[in-house]
Each structure stands twice: as C-alpha cells, then as structure tokens.
Chains A and B, each alone.
Chain A
Amino acid sequence: MSNHRIMDHPVLGKLEKTEEITFIFDGKSYTGFKGDTVASALLAHGIRQLRVQEESGNPRGIYCNIGHCFECRVTINHVEGVRSCMTPIEHNMVVESGRLQPVPFKSTEADKLPRTYAEFERGLHKEDDPHV
C-alpha cells in the first residue's frame, strides 16, 4: 500500500503491524497505521505537499515536525489550522490541504510614504489634500 514507509530499520528494527486506519486527504482515500500522524501517514504515501503559501502558492509541507512551526497546518474535519504533524489519524478523518487565498491590494508606493510624522509634515503635506 505504501512504498515510502521504512518497514525494517537497521537500528529500530522491524515495524510492528498495528491497526490500519483509512482517512481522506483532498478527496482521496489513504491508509495509515494506528499511531501515525496525518503528516507521517501522507509522507508514507509520498505526499510531501500539505498546503501552499497562501499568497504565492509555493508548496509547503513538513518543516519542523514537532509542532513548532505550523508549516504543515491543514484543515481537519472542517477545523482550520490544525498541525498535521501533531494530529494522529482517525477513522474517516477528512483532511484538506491549505489553498491559495485571495490577495488584498498592495500599495505600490510604500517607499514614497513618510516614515514618521515629522517627515510627513516636511514633505507630503499639500494644501488641497483632502486627508489632512
């Protein structure tokens, strides 16, 4: 079922067979073992991308794998922002990857804006400016 899982480790020994658990990731069904986290079960299936950076769409996945960095956050059973590296898989769990989000308009002249009130008073104050 999965070819990325280490079944026989030179130091840790053979992997004990435990209960198989089926869960859903982005509409597809996957099987992991009891005790797997969502991230480890998906990694065993060769899935490394768990979400995209919300603005750029660049891929993101496991980074620290100890629950520190929130890079692997996914939506689990409609709860957003759940760390997949810290969440054990359960039967029929519905996991969805993080998607691209709409981007707010960006200021194109941020560098021309005053940094302090003193700079504002010196430079940008105009008589007919409606915002002053």
Chain B
Amino acid sequence: MDDLIICRCEEVSLADIKRTAHMYQCSAREVKLRTRAGMGYCGGRTCRPAVDAVLEEVTGEKPGNDIPLKVSPPVRPVSLSTLGGSERHE
C-alpha cells in the first residue's frame, strides 16, 4: 500500500509523504517542497487532494486554499506561444 504512487509526475510514493510528514510534522506545503509531490508537470492537479488527505491524517492539517498547496492559474500548463506571439522559436 505504501508503494502507491501519489504524485505520478514526480514519482512520490505514499511512504515518502507519510515519512516526511511524520519526521517534520510539517504543513502540506512543506511536504510539497521537500518531496516535490505536486510540483510536476500537471501542477499538482492530480495528486493535491491525495497529499492533503495524507497530511490531514498525519498532522490533522485541514486542506485550505490560502497557503497550503493553493491552486494558481493557469488552469492547465500552456506554452508561452499560447499566451502571446504567433511564431514558434525553438
């Protein structure tokens, strides 16, 4: 069960997150910064609720939207050419 991968982008397992949360008794945000869970390509869209849930179980931290693992725009990863400029420059 602990081999379960929570963050697939950065390949962080449930065991990694539990160990970090137990060792440092820290916030979800600190777990994110220590393990990189939620910092991958998808921007934490996939694993954020799972990381929040593990943290709530270990430290009792309630998921919020202010400092811990907040959601920031853009909604999806976009290339800079989407935001402006029509030509691709490699």
Contacts and interface: CB of A to CB of B under 8 A. Distances in A.
A108 B69 CA distance: 26
B11 A69 contact: no
A70 B11 contact: no
Interface of A: 53, 55-56, 58, 60, 63-64, 67-71, 73, 81, 110, 115
A19 B16 CA distance: 48
A129 B11 CA distance: 35
Interface of B: 8-11, 24, 34, 41-42, 45-46, 76-77, 79
A68 B41 contact: no
B-side binding surface: helix, strand, loop or mixed? loop
Dominant secondary structure at the A interface: loop
Contact of A70 (B10, B34, B41, B79): B41
Nearest to B42: A70
Contacts of B8: 53, 60, 63, 69, 71
B79 A69 contact: no
30 contacts: A53-B8, A53-B11, A55-B10, A55-B11, A56-B11, A58-B11, A60-B8, A63-B8, A64-B46, A67-B76, A68-B45, A68-B46, A69-B8, A69-B42, A69-B45, A69-B46, A70-B9, A70-B41, A70-B42, A70-B77, A71-B8, A71-B9, A71-B42, A71-B46, A73-B41, A81-B41, A81-B77, A81-B79, A110-B34, A115-B24
